[in-house]
Amino acid sequence: MSNNNKKWFSLNLGRKEKESSGACGCGKTSGGCGAASQSDQMTDAAFAEAAIHASIGEEKNKDGFEQVFDVKMDRRTAFKKLTASLLIGAGAVSTSCSVIGGDESKEKAQIDWEEQFKGNYKLMTDEEKNGTVDRLVRSYQLRTGKTISMSSKNAEEDVLFGYAFNISKCQGYMDCVNACVEENNQDRNSEMQYIRIHEMKDGKGFNFNEADDNYYHEVPAEGHFYMGTQCFHCDNPPCVEVCPVQATWREDDGLVVVDYDWCVGCRYCMAACPYDGRRFNWSKPEVPEAEINKNQHYLGNRMRKKGVMEKCTFCVQRSRAGKNPACVEACPTGARIFGNLLDPDSTIRWVLENKKVFRLKEDLGTEPKFWYFMD
């Protein structure tokens, strides 16, 4: 990516492929490295223009750099932030100026620095999105020696994703749950799962108080029916409303997504969701290296960290490429139907127009794009 319209201050660690500012050769031991390049970038007129261009509201028209630094805050938080940033900065500087530090560790430090200040994904230009994806792929390569592919594919025009679930077909096999966990690199230690299959008694309706979502006996059990819940990708999502840092939002194709690098882990969204669609990483998510799904998307199944929210994304890495989500593909009964709501010839539209469909807690006005129906 080009350097001239980057919206945050860049460290130049004197790595060979980048043009050296000479800061590391100056022999300074404090954070003066790359100071020359800073003034160039900050006074650029295009910088302000790009910032306004990227804005989506009065309070949102700050770019990545300003979102970090140009915030009214009390002294305590200011010191906290400053210390955190200084630690990274100091780390970067010491690596860059160290004689024994290799080119690789310098690159690692530079990537860490850039990632720290990259800003909110929602506000990024396509170029910046590619930039951060490239950095994350490179960082993973430096750390593990393995190569992943990560996409930053945007929402397609004329696509609005929707989902239908046939409650008379589901037999409670839970193949969908397994496929989801494997596809989306969910934490194996805490056995996180986005999908829950509820076993409900016939004749009691949707009674979640008496339903069991963790049964283990031969299914389908006599006198029971099964229904699945996951993130419903509401068109009026309450989780997005409550996010204090706008780390979660609805994309144009209807997917409600999370920027794991912008999330502060306050869990407001978890409380706001009326469907228990969101999950929190209480510990560092761990997946055995051999089981990691390397086909990733920035907003989807890339590796998360401790203390951030995650949830079903309708497998954004698959759905935006034209595939069905993993749960749809895994279901042996055909209870799960996925498609484009705007396409009048799509199967999902046929279901909505010809079957008796309903949604969970419709009266809340959340407008979930997940319908239930029966044969």
Query: Closest approach of Cβ 173 to another protein, in Å?
Result: 6
Of 116 and 190, which CB lies nearer to another protein in the complex structure?
A: 190
**CB-based contact 177:214 (threshold 8 Å):** no
Coil, strand or helix at 331:
coil
CA distance 222 to 177: 22
User: Of the listed pieces 9-17, 71-79, 90-98, 366-374, which binds another protein according to CB under 8 A?
Assistant: 366-374
Answer for which of 320, 326, 327, 372 binds another protein (CB under 8 A) is 320
- Cα dihedral 217, 220, 226, 230, rounded to 10, equals 60
CA distance 64 to 9: 10
375 is a site residue for another protein (CB under 8 A):
yes
User: Of the listed pieces 65-73, 103-111, 304-312, 352-360, which binds another protein according to CB under 8 A?
Assistant: 352-360
CA distance 66 to 44: 15
User: Of the listed pieces 26-34, 67-75, 88-96, 187-195, which binds another protein according to CB under 8 A?
Assistant: 187-195
Do the bridges between strand 295-297 and strand 149-151 make them parallel or antiparallel, or are there none, so unpaired? parallel
Answer for which of 15, 324, 360, 364 binds another protein (CB under 8 A) is 324
Query: Closest approach of Cβ 97 to another protein, in Å?
Result: 46
CA separation (Å) from 233 to 41, 70, 143, 341, 347? 39, 32, 34, 13, 19
Q: 300 Cβ partners below 8 Å, 6+ apart?
A: 184, 257, 313, 315, 316, 317
| Nearest to 313, CA basis, from 187, 263, 302, 205 | 302
Of 23 and 164, which CB lies nearer to another protein in the complex structure?
A: 164
312 is a site residue for another protein (CB under 8 A):
no
Query: Closest approach of Cβ 57 to another protein, in Å?
Result: 9
**CB-based contact 359:233 (threshold 8 Å):** no
The strand pairing partners of 196, in sequence order, are 229
> What x-and-dash track marks residues 195-214 binding another protein by CB under 8 A?
--x---------------xx
Q: 95 Cβ partners below 8 Å, 6+ apart?
A: 13, 101, 105, 106, 108, 109
DSSP assignments along 141-193, one per residue: HHHHS---EEE-PPPPTT--EEEEEETTT-----HHHHHHHHHTT--TTTT--
DSSP assignments along 222-269, one per residue: TTEEEEEE-----SS-HHHHH-TT--EEE-TTS-EEE-TTT-----HH
CA distance 345 to 198: 31
Answer for which of 17, 19, 126, 345 binds another protein (CB under 8 A) is 345
Answer for which of 130, 215, 242, 303 binds another protein (CB under 8 A) is 215
Answer for which of 108, 135, 311, 369 binds another protein (CB under 8 A) is 369
Query: Closest approach of Cβ 175 to another protein, in Å?
Result: 5
Coil, strand or helix at 140:
helix
Query: Closest approach of Cβ 196 to another protein, in Å?
Result: 9
355 is a site residue for another protein (CB under 8 A):
yes
122 is a site residue for another protein (CB under 8 A):
no
Of 25 and 332, which CB lies nearer to another protein in the complex structure?
A: 332
175 is a site residue for another protein (CB under 8 A):
yes
> What x-and-dash track marks residues 152-171 binding another protein by CB under 8 A?
----xxxxx---x-x--x-x
Query: Closest approach of Cβ 139 to another protein, in Å?
Result: 29
Answer for which of 5, 55, 139, 190 binds another protein (CB under 8 A) is 190
Residues lying near another protein in the complex (CB under 8 A) are found at 156-160, 164, 166, 169, 171-175, 177-178, 189-191, 193, 197, 213-220, 235-236, 318-324, 328, 331-334, 337-352, 354-355, 367, 369, 373, 375
